[in-house]
Structure 1
Amino acid sequence: MPAPNLLLMKHLLLAALLLSAAGATAQTPAAETEAVKQTIRNFFDGMRKGDSTLVRSTIAPGAVFHTLAARNGTTQLRTETPSDFVKAVGTPHKEVWDERITFDKVLIDANLASVWTPYEFYIGSTFSHCGYNSFQLVKLADGWKIAHVIDTRRKEKCK
């Protein structure tokens, strides 16, 4: 039977290892959440700057963009290709496209993230529309990338 001091030291060492492992695990979600948010921030920073290269760097190969819009009282699902969006961002325009978001929910499991962001969209300083974005991101070899985004658009009842 081990000496009481040796037994106590083994228990303390085991406890220290478990606590350090728990601390490392607890840090990972916060770091991953921040990395996911930064990808989305870069997407919108690129849009504001008219920087198509920055926007393109945030989008996964094969990504899909959708919008839910009401027309004549009916909801329509519209598809926009990411390449058309990137081209529009990079085409000079008079006013800044400014989508102001807040992060409502960020959920992550392994290499998949789902992010819910209410937003207000301005053209220059003029309010255009508002709604919610739902982003699906995937973690690839070069980091988190947007695989799908779908949004709602309306002019009133924001947030």
Structure 2
Amino acid sequence: MKKLLLSCLLLTATSAAFAQTAPAAETEAVKKTIQSFFEGMRKGDSTLVRTTLAPGAVFHTISTRNGQTQLRPENPSAFVKQVGTPHKEVYDERITFDKVLIDANLASVWTPYEFYLGNTFSHCGYNSFQLVKLTDGWKIAHIIDTRRKEKCK
């Protein structure tokens, strides 16, 4: 019985040690995917943005109009096309990583942001990303965000 208990304790300790070292690399890989997404936006590089998205990715935004909360779907293909279409101002979404949670091949990331068209503030809010780890790395499966012009951060 004591040997079984000792074996269980060692197995648990080994798993815990692995869990403490592996997530740091995975967390950085998840962040890199999101950073590449926004780098592509800033550069107007639709190819780079597209490489960060999982097949079948879904985008939503939450906004308030006339006092009513609305959930609006957005078309990822249209978004990628818009990013790659020449435009005067840089699309500059400035984020910070608030929370990164990972379990196996699923990651959930919470990022406050401020969005600028060139140097002009447009809006702010929070992004919630859901990522999946596929054979070619972490890919964005779902983005949902809030948008407002006041009470940022």
Structure 2 counterpart of 1:63, one-letter code? A
Aligned to 1:157: 151
Question: Do structure 1's residue 91 and structure 2's residue 100 form an aligned pair?
Answer: no
Q: Quote the residue 2:67 is aligned against.
A: 73
Partner residue of 1:131 out of 121, 125, 129: 125
Q: What is the one-letter code of the residue matched to 2:91?
A: W
Q: Deviations over 1:118-146 (max 9, x none)?
A: 00000000000000000000000000000
What is the TM-score of this pair, normalised by structure 1? 0.86
Give the greater-gyration-radius structure (CA).
1
2:41 maps to 1:47: yes
| SS of residue paired to 1:87 | helix
Distance 2:85 2:39 in 1: 15
Q: CA deviation at 1:65?
A: 0.1
Closer/same/farther in 2, CA of residues 127 and 20 from structure 1, 3 Å limit: same
> Match of 2:61, as an amino acid?
T
Identity percentage of aligned residues: 79
Report the counterpart of residue 117 of structure 1 in structure 2. 111
Q: Which runs of 5+ in 2 are unaligned?
A: 1-9
Give the corresponding residue for 2:31. Answer: 37
Say how many residue pairs are matched.
144
The offset of 1:73, in angstroms, is: 1.1
Q: Does 1:62 align with 2:51?
A: no
CA distance, structure 2, for counterparts of residue 68 and residue 26 of structure 1: 35
Mean CA deviation greater in 74-83 or 104-113:
74-83
Amino acid at match of 2:148: R
Greater Cα offset, 139-148 or 72-81: 72-81
Rounded to whole Å, the distance in 2 between the matches of 1:72 and 1:19 is 55
Unaligned runs of 5+ in 1: 1-14
